Structure 1
Amino acid sequence: MADFNFELVSPERLLLSERVSEVVIPATDGEMTVMANHAPTMTTIKPGVVTVKAADGKVSRYVVFGGFADILPTGCTLLAESAIPADEMDPAAVQKRIDAAKTELEGAHSDEHKSRLEQFLAELTHLNGIVVAF
């Protein structure tokens, strides 16, 4: 199986930069599996779990809270708004983000802002159920 370069970057740090055989990312329009020679694509990322299968077969997971991915035939770079290795994730941190989104929703004035917050809240709630399963 062909390998490609993958980088996961957050504002805080570079979480991963290595050769991988596949990456599953939580794209806004649904989960997307990226492999070598993928068609060039750019997509936004919703809150979710990134699953990385390294060239040696080792699987690792990272929780991301939005961002975007730039996919080329030779590699993929995911720029996350915030990211953390799944094994370091505290479910209370997701609940804190849910509570903050609910508070912001109460103060939202435009329908567009309310709609974006409702979607984000739904994604966080779904992610909360996944994180609890870790």
Structure 2
Amino acid sequence: MADNFNFELVSPERLLVSGSVSEVVIPATEGEMTVMANHAPTMTTIKPGVVTVKFADGKKDRYVVFGGFADIIPTGCTLLAESAVHVDDIKSEDITRRIEAARKELEHAASDEHKFGIETYLAELTTLNGIVMPV
């Protein structure tokens, strides 16, 4: 049996998860990452994506996050999300609204660096929309 560790998923609105888990897959900015007990201390930014949580009892659950960061230590992981919702509660309109807002922001981006950041965010949202809301 795998070792368990403490995991918390927190958004500004509420605490979504707090408990003992055996594994968490997070959408880190540099690529998807699996966190398990005794993980090396790491801090990473989070891109829009799906967090998959495997609880100590074997149950799995998924949450959609829209950015943030994760603090990982050998005994736990805390993911502070800019915004998060259970995957069953996400609506296509939520993601579409974020895509439209990013497109408007892109029209007014002053620098190439700002444009690149917005284009990257748009690509991540589009991918997320395809994962969560398959056609």
Q: TM-score range by the shorter chain?
A: over 0.9
Q: After the TM superposition, which residues 64-103 of structure 1 pair with which residues of structure 2 at under 5 Å, given as runs?
A: 64-103=65-104
| Aligned-pair Cα RMSD in Å | 1.0
The size of the alignment, in residue pairs, is 134
Quick one: distance in 2 between partners of 1:133 and 1:76?
Answer: 30
Quick one: distance in 2 between partners of 1:13 and 1:133?
Answer: 27
Structure 1 unaligned segments of length 5 or more: list them.
Answer: none
The DSSP-based 3-state class of the residue aligned with 2:127 is helix
- What TM-score comes out, normalization by structure 2 length? 0.97
The DSSP-based 3-state class of the residue aligned with 2:132 is helix
**How far is 1:91 from its partner?**
1.2
- What TM-score comes out, normalization by structure 1 length? 0.98
The residue that corresponds to 1:62 in the other structure is 63
**How far is 1:133 from its partner?**
3.3
The DSSP-based 3-state class of the residue aligned with 2:116 is helix
Structure 2 unaligned segments of length 5 or more: list them.
Answer: none
Q: Identical aligned pairs, as a percentage?
A: 72
The DSSP-based 3-state class of the residue aligned with 1:61 is strand
Quick one: distance in 1 between partners of 2:73 and 2:57?
Answer: 21
The one-letter code of the counterpart of 1:48 is G
Quick one: distance in 1 between partners of 2:24 and 2:122?
Answer: 25
Quick one: distance in 2 between partners of 1:62 and 1:133?
Answer: 16
